[in-house]
């Protein structure tokens, strides 16, 4: 049975079938209905059946069937309903939890290709509008008062976004005023059935639309319910701790530790970059089978004798890095260390840490 990221073809096919049926039930808009029709007209489930090996299954999921594009553009809808189900509300559909969990298990929400295809823009907009309205249903103007949990959640969302995107101040130069004036307005407009007016207002500030939906979702407290869902992510960030070479083997002092001069700083930067490139070379065999990405994040503290390189991959890919680069220490998202396979003595500098 062909597998993709450790999930067999029949499980993937069933997860897709259940999710599409649920999206049909939700009926979030005309553009989504039409795109579901287009997607089904390509016989994607038949294509899955015809995938007789891992390579063909990968091709179907990544490029041919459009399945990844479908779920990437509707992930907010599926996530919202899964969180509501996790909260255990009377009118929630229990199946929404399993649908979301099963799609997560094979990485349905990991982009298949960079960029947004134009034909999906209307679908993505309907998904935003759906979640926006659902979140507004749960809020009232009093939630915008300082001290209320929803208010604090919104402020935290603003601060988080500033860290992720320093340019947000350009789009929302006065976030406190924008929050005080706009969010209560949207809540009131929604309560009077003026959702079309909300859409018109957001069309004037397209950069803020996605942020607003994300912030309102956090204001509802649903992310806490979503966090209770046991999710098995096939691809996660792993941390590689890379020691710098020692200047003096007897003293064990780090070559670049605490270096202040320009030459030493340059040497350190080159070493850090080469460490990241070394990890990517070890991951290269996993790129064609979609078990690793070329994305790395480097953290370097000049006061320490080691640097950190974060990389994205499956457990198998991360273990391969740990086995090959035995002088690096590899940790998973829980902080547990991946020990190298026993292929001979570990290098003297290797110090297992929890």
In tens, the pLDDT along 80-98 reads 999 999 999 888 899 999 9
3 state SS of 243: strand
User: Per-residue pLDDT for 200 more than 70?
Assistant: yes
In tens, the pLDDT along 310-326 reads 999 989 999 999 999 99
- Rounded to an integer, the average pLDDT of 181-196 is 85
pLDDT band for 352, please (50, 70, 90 cuts).
very low
Q: What is the pLDDT of residue 6?
A: 81
Q: What is the pLDDT of residue 163?
A: 67
CA 144/CA 124 separation, integer angstroms? 27
User: Per-residue pLDDT for 274 more than 80?
Assistant: yes
- Rounded to an integer, the average pLDDT of 199-205 is 79
- Rounded to an integer, the average pLDDT of 149-177 is 66
CA 282/CA 321 separation, integer angstroms? 6
pLDDT band for 33, please (50, 70, 90 cuts).
very high
Q: What is the pLDDT of residue 354?
A: 38
Structural domains of the chain, with CATH: 3-226 (no CATH), 236-338 (3.30.70)
Q: What is the pLDDT of residue 299?
A: 82
Contact 273, 43 (CB under 8 A): no
- Rounded to an integer, the average pLDDT of 202-222 is 81
Q: What percent of the chain has pLDDT above 90?
A: 40
User: Per-residue pLDDT for 247 more than 60?
Assistant: no
Measured CA distances, 172 to 34, 94, 180, 212, 223 (Å): 34, 38, 13, 11, 23
C-alpha triplet 234, 135, 183: angle, nearest 5°: 120
pLDDT band for 344, please (50, 70, 90 cuts).
low
Contact 58, 30 (CB under 8 A): no
| 239: phi then psi, degrees, rounded to nearest 5 | -110, 125
Q: What is the pLDDT of residue 248?
A: 39
CA 288/CA 211 separation, integer angstroms? 33
User: Per-residue pLDDT for 269 more than 60?
Assistant: yes
Q: What is the pLDDT of residue 177?
A: 56
Contact 111, 68 (CB under 8 A): yes
Lowest mean pLDDT among 49-53, 72-76, 176-180, 317-321: 176-180
């Amino acid at each position: 049975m062909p597998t993709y990221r450790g999930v067999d073809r029949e499980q993937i096919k069933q997860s897709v079938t259940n999710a599409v049926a649920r999206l049909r039930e939700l009926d979030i808009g005309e553009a989504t209905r039409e795109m579901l029709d287009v997607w089904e007209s390509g016989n994607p489930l038949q294509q899955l059946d015809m995938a007789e090996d891992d390579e063909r299954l990968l091709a179907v999921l990544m490029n041919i069937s459009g399945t990844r594009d479908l779920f990437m553009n509707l992930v907010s809808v599926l996530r919202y309903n899964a969180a509501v189900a996790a909260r255990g509300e009377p009118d929630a559909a229990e199946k929404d939890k399993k649908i979301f969990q099963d799609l997560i298990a094979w990485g349905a929400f990991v982009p298949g290709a960079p960029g947004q295809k134009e034909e999906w823009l209307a679908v993505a907009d309907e998904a935003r509008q759906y979640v926006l309205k659902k979140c507004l249903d749960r809020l009232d103007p009093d939630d915008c008062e300082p001290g209320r949990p929803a208010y604090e959640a919104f402020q935290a969302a603003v601060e988080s976004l500033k860290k992720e995107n320093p340019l947000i101040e350009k789009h929302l130069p006065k976030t406190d005023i924008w929050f005080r004036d706009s969010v209560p307005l949207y809540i009131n407009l929604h309560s009077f059935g003026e959702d079309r007016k909300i859409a018109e207002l957001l069309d004037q500030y397209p950069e803020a639309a996605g942020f607003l939906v994300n912030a309102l979702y956090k204001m509802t407290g649903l992310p806490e319910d979503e966090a209770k869902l046991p999710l098995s992510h096939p691809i996660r960030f792993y941390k590689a701790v890379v020691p710098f070479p020692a200047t003096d083997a007897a003293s064990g002092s780090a070559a670049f530790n605490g270096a202040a001069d320009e030459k030493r700083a340059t040497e350190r930067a080159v070493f850090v970059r080469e460490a990241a490139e070394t990890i990517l070379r070890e991951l290269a065999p996993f790129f064609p089978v979609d078990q690793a990405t070329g994305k790395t994040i480097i953290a370097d503290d000049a006061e320490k004798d080691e640097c950190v390189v974060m990389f994205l991959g499956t457990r198998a890919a991360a273990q391969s890095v740990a086995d090959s680069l035995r002088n690096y220490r590899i940790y998973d998202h829980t902080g547990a260390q991946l020990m190298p396979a026993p292929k001979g003595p570990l290098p003297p500098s290797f110090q297992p840490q929890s």
